[in-house]
Structure 1
Amino acid sequence: MTTTLITGANKGLGYETARRLLAAGHTVYLGCRDAERGRRAAEELGARLVLLDVTDDASVAAAARAVEADGGLDVLVNNAGIEARTGDNAVVGAADVTGELMRRVFDTNVFGPVRVLHAFLPLLLRSASPVVVNISSGLASLTRVSEPGTPTHAYPGVAYPASKAAVNMVTVQYAKAFPALRINAVEPGYTATDLNGNTGVQSVAEGAEIIVRMAQLGPDGPTGGYFDIHGRLPW
C-alpha cells in the first residue's frame, strides 16, 4: 500500500489529487491547517486528516510524528501555496510589491516545502519507492516569462513567479542530494481555484492530471525535472 501526504488538501487541486490517488489505491493524508475544513474533506473523500500548517515548524514536526506513528510515508505532494492579490482580486504588480509581501508568499510557497521535506525526509528515505511532487507553475519558467506575446510574459506579479522559480531550484538541489527519491516540479496549468480567485481557464480535474501522474512514478522515473502534462518545460 502506497501512503501519500498532500499539503493544502482540503480544496482545489489538493482535494482533487487526493480523490484521484485514493481511487488508485493510495492511503492519503490530507495535510490541512484548518481542523474543521480538513475533517469535512477527509470524511467526504475517505482520507486521513493530519493537521499541518506549512508555515509553522512545530506543526510540521507534529504532523511528521503522527504519520510516522501510523507507519510511514511513500509520496509527498507539496501543494499548499498562495498568490499575491489585492482585495479586488488584482495581481500585485512590481510597482506595489513589498518585502513583507514577498516574505509572506515565500514563507508558504518556498520555506513551506523545505520545512515539510526536512521533517518527512527520514520517512521517505525508508520507503522502497519514495516520490516528491512539488507544485510549481508555468510562471516559474524564466524562458517563458521572457517571451513577449505570451500569457506568462504578460503576468505582472513578482512574488508568485519568484517563489515558484525558487521551488524549481529546491527541486533540482534535493534531487541531486537524494538520488533515491523521484522528486520533480510540476506545472498544473492555469486552473480555476481559490488561489487565483477562480479565474483559471481549466478545471481541477485537468490541473490535477500531471500531479497524479508524477505522484505515481516508479523507481525508474525521472527526477530533478520540471513538467507539465505535455512533457518537460524549459527552465
Structure 2
Amino acid sequence: MTPRASALHTLEIVRKDQWIPEPLQARMRAWEPRSGLGQALKEALRFLPLELAAELLERVTSCVVVESSLSLILLRWDERAGIRGIEPLGVVSRKVVTTAGVGYLVDALQNLVEPENLKYHALGTGNAAEAVGDTALQTELTTQYNPDNTRATGSTIEASATVYRTVGTNTVDASAAVVEHGILTQAAVGGGVLLDRSVFSVVNLASSDSLTSTYELTLSAGG
C-alpha cells in the first residue's frame, strides 16, 4: 500500500495596504481629516498608486476645505388649535457654495463688503440642479413671502470655532411648493450676492406656514 503523500500548506495573510512604505503609512495614520472630503480621501489613499497617494496626501493636507449644510424645520399652522405644529426635516442638502459667494468672501477680506450680510434666507420653487455658477435662485418666491418680496433675516452666530451658522424663518401668506433655498446678502428679492444654493425634496407650504432654515458653513484647515 502506497503511503499517502503529505504536503505542508501555509496561509499568508496580506494586508491591502502592505505595499505602502512605512513612512507614508505613518503619515496616513497621523492625518486626522476634519472634513467629509478628507475622510473619504483617507479611505481611498490605500487603493491608489504610491506616487499618486503621496501627492494627494500632500495636497489635501495643505488645503482649506469649505463645506455647507442646510437643515429645515416646517412650522405648520393648525387653524383649529391655533398653534404651529413642528416638523423637523433634518439635513436636506450639503451643497453648493457658489463662485460668486467665494468672490464675496475674498472682497470681505479686503474690507470691501461686510461678511455678516450673508444672512438672508431665500426660498424658491425651481428644481434645476445646483451649480457653482448660480447667482440667484431659479424661481424665488415674491408675493408668497410675508411680508411680500422680503427674505427672512437670519441670525449670525459661531456654531464652533470653524463653523458659521445662520438661522432664519420665512412665513408665507400663499401656498408654495418649495424646493430651493439660498443665502444672500440682502433682504429684498431681486438682488444680493448668492453664497449658496440648495435643492431638496419638495416642502409644500400653505398660507400661514413657516419654514425655519439653519445654514452652516464649515471651514476645515488641513483637509
Q: Could you say which TM-score interval applies, normalised by the shorter chain?
A: under 0.3
Give the TM-score of the pair, scaled to structure 2: 0.23
Q: Which has the larger radius of gyration?
A: 2
TM-score of the superposition, structure 1-length normalised?
0.22
Structure having the higher helix fraction is 1
Structure having the higher strand fraction is 2
